[in-house]
Structure 1
Amino acid sequence: MHYGIDFPSALIDSIIFSALIIFGFMLLDNIFKFYTPTKGNKVLLVVFPLILSLLILYSGDFLIKWVVPSNFKNITFLNEAFVLRGFIILLIFLSYSLLLNLQGKLQEQVEAEEREAKLQKMTDEAELYQLRQQLQPHFLFNSLNSISSLVKSQPDKAREMVLQLSDFLRGTIQKEANNWIKVQEEIQFLTLFTDIEKVRFGHRLQLHFEKENGVDDLKLPHLMVQPLLENAIKHSLYGLTGEVAIHVHFKKKEKYLNVTIENPFDPKAGQAKGAGFGLEAVRRRLFLIFGRYDLLKTTASSQQFRVELLIPQIS
């Protein structure tokens, strides 16, 4: 349908209403940016666009009639297009309001998920810290009991054990801020630990650390192996007489650091008091760090117990 309106008048009409509609978009954007209608106020998604459409419709009509020279054809077009123009503007603003509301809901959902993820991370870190704090006193109490039993019978060994325990705890505290260390550093701490245990058990305890070439620079969470080694010592020395040999082997397995601990044990002798805490604590710690339960495996034959630990290498 052609109304015969001249091109300059049509151009002015388009510019005025386009500018007013853009202004309406900006206004709606600011409204819904700071206010998201709740479930009981969904009617505002219609009220705001309706009010804004009426304001823009009458404002645009006034501006056009004021700017464009009045003639019969122009007035006829404006009057006949008034209702249709208002309906189109209302549809545009309604659609934009719905999109803004949907965007706001999605943003709220994303922020809620981020807050939940941060809260879960804080919870995991707190639990991980608590586990580490439990593991250290667990070893400390055992060492103090051993020192206590040696004070009267073998004071020199008790003194030696105190010094070694001091070195071990000092190194542990210094590494607290750095959760990941190299294999070579972990072996040094394990050596300190085994020296303390050897003072307690003497010649009965034989520990062998073996590592393949190229694993020194691989990393693992600090003191991840120590609870497993402590558990192996308990299994070996409870119910067995004579010397026992425990083997700890470090090697690279694809994208993992593979640590295996093998120790002899007597299945008929039962379980040592407190044994099993280290395994469960390490399993839980692995889950908190990596989100996986398949990184720690145990196998037991007739007289041999084996623990296999996999540490993913984070680049």
Structure 2
Amino acid sequence: MKRSITISLYWKCQLIGWSIAALYWGYAGYSPKGFNWMLGVIQFSTDVFIYILITHLYRNFALSRGWQNLGLNKLLPRLVPAVLVLGLVYLLVTSVKIYYIRLWLQPDISRPFGEFFDFYRDGILVAGIRLMSIWLLAYHLYHYSQREISIAKENGRLAVITRDAQLNNLSAQLNPHFLFNSLNNIKALISDDPTSARRAIDLLSELLRSSLYHGDKQLISLKEELGLVRDYLELEKLRFEERLQYHIADDDLSQNILLPRLSIQTLTENAVKHGISKQKNGGLIAIHILKVDGYLNITVSNPGKFTPAAESHGLGLKNLNERLQLHYQNAAAFNINETGGTVSATIKIPLA
């Protein structure tokens, strides 16, 4: 089985970059009358080989000293002398190469090397500093950008791990909180209405089964969430009887829309605890769910007074708000307000 030969990006850039430079030099020196093709081919080959060798040796030097891991403020002071040294090396190597290749192919040239060097020195040095500056900046900027990308990826990975850990911790708080509230409801029914208490136990069994089945899920479908809410409201209605009325309007939405588990239930539980239970005549809990401009708006309304200080100490709403911000990276919204004796809790979830 044949093994394919792969060339790294570094070597591709080296070969392509210096080949283009050598071709440009050959084109600049081309003359239809006096152009020596043998000289052109030799100059091209030696240019590519020698300048790749020089820059590759610099690369090994920089890697051995960890320059690729330096920030720009520490790297730039090192690049200035490096450019000067490489420019001088370029001057020396290029002068020797050009002179002796021409002397070999055109032995009639009698100009001594010192005179040749003095005549071309400044031009070759400036060209060398310019080329080496471009090469060093391109090489180190590439490493700098790759390092920044790697850091960004690692920070993103750590952020996801941290978010998942926070969500798991928040979810672990929900089940005991929900269970204790439901058991308190049943406790209140046992002595006054055993029949309703038995029905409440059946409902609680369904609620716990649903909770256990979805306990490892951060998101569930709207259909599953509303099923949980209806069971919870029926359980509470056994306790409050006619004092609790409820209405759910989902605007014929797709039941497969996903949302955080126990989000509507938490708002409903809060409406019962802080609204219905404190009203002598009870009242209506209205749940409205609709799509607005790419968001899922969920509003749970109940009669009562909104007291921010009391609401802020509740586990359920604080838990819900934290989960929403973690799930949707602060793109979700949650607020509670009171208008004319009606308290409305609204969550806004992006559908995309």
Bin of the TM-score, shorter chain as denominator length: 0.7 to 0.9
Matched, 1:7 2:36: yes
**Candidates 62, 79, 87, aligned match of 1:45:** 79
Question: Partners in 2 of 1:95 and 1:177 — Cα distance?
Answer: 55
Asked whether the equivalents of residues 204 and 244 of structure 1 are also in contact (C-alpha less than 8 Å), the reply is: yes
Find the counterpart in structure 2 of residue 22 from structure 1: 52
The amino acid that maps onto 1:45 is L
Structure 1 stretch 252-261 or stretch 87-96: which is displaced more?
87-96
Cα gap change, 1:74 to 1:303, in 2 (>3 Å)? farther
Q: Does 1:71 align with 2:101?
A: no
Change in CA separation of 1:148 and 1:74 when aligned onto 2, cut-off 3 Å: farther
Structure 2: where are the runs of 5+ without partners? 1-28
Contact 1:245 1:264 in 2 (8 A): yes
Give the equivalent residue in structure 2 for 1:222.
261
Match of 1:278 in 2: 316
Q: Cα–Cα, structure 1 residues 98 and 246, in superposed 2: closer, same or farther, change >3 Å?
A: same
- The root-mean-square deviation of aligned C-alpha atoms, in Å, is 3.7
Return the alpha-carbon distance in structure 1 between the equivalents of residues 198 and 238 of structure 2.
Answer: 10
In structure 2, do the counterparts of structure 1 residues 74 and 14 end up closer, same or farther at CA, with 3 Å as the change threshold? Answer: farther
CA distance in 1 between counterparts of 2:284 and 2:138 reads 70
- The residue that corresponds to 1:248 in the other structure is 287
Q: Please show how residues 99-178 of structure 1 align to structure 2 within 5 Å.
A: 99-178=138-217
Greater mean alpha carbon deviation, residues 32-41 or residues 119-128: 32-41
SS at match of 1:73: coil
Aligned pairs, how many? 311
Paired with 1:275 and 1:97, the residues of 2 have a C-alpha distance of: 59
- 1:47-86 deviation line (CA, Å, top 9, x unaligned): 6556666666666666663793462527647645467535
Structure 1 CA distance for aligned equivalents of residues 229 and 110 of structure 2: 93
1:212–1:250 contact (8 Å) kept in structure 2? yes
SS in 1 for 2:206: helix
Is 2:225 the partner of 1:186? yes
Aligned-pair distance for 1:246? 0.9
Per mean C-alpha deviation after superposition, the further-off stretch among 146-155 and 181-190 is 146-155
Q: Which amino acid aligns with 1:73?
A: I
CA distance 1:49–1:5, shift in 2 (3 Å) = farther
Supply the distance in 1 between the matched residues of 2:200 and 2:124 (Cα, whole angstroms): 91
* CA 1:137–1:7: 2 relative to 1, 3 Å: same
Question: Which residue number in structure 2 is paired with residue 197 of structure 1?
Answer: 236
Gaps of 5+ in 1: none
Q: Which residue of 1 aligns with 2:343?
A: 305
- Which amino acid is the alignment partner of residue 207 of structure 1? Y
Provide the residue aligned with 1:263 in structure 2. Answer: 302
TM-score by length of 1: 0.79
Amino acid at match of 1:36: W
C-alpha distance 66-231 of structure 1, shift in aligned 2 (>3 A): same
* Equivalent position of 2:67 in the other structure: 36
Residue 228 of structure 1, CA deviation: 0.6
| Letter paired with 1:20 | I
Report deviation, 1:133: 2.4
> Cα distance, 1:29 vs. partner?
4.7
Structure 1 residues 31, 114: closer, same or farther in 2, change over 3 A? farther
1:242-270 per-position Cα deviation (integer Å, ceiling 9, x unaligned):
342211122222322222212112569x9
Query: 1:167-226 CA deviation, whole Å, 9 max, x = no partner?
Result: 222222322444333322221111122233233333432222222224434332222111
Contact 1:260 1:309 in 2 (8 A): yes
Identical pairs, percent? 25
Task: Give the Cα separation in 1 of the matches to 2:124 and 2:88.
Answer: 10
Larger CA deviation: 139-148 vs 185-194? 139-148
Aligned-residue offset at 1:109: 2.4
Distance 2:107 2:239 in 1: 110
Q: Distance in 2 between matches of 1:181 and 1:145?
A: 26
For the residues of structure 2 that align with 1:91 and 1:55, how far apart are their CA atoms?
13
**1:46 and 1:252 mapped to 2: Cα distance?**
60
The alpha-carbon distance between structure 1 residues 7 and 229, as it changes in their structure 2 partners (threshold 3 A), is same
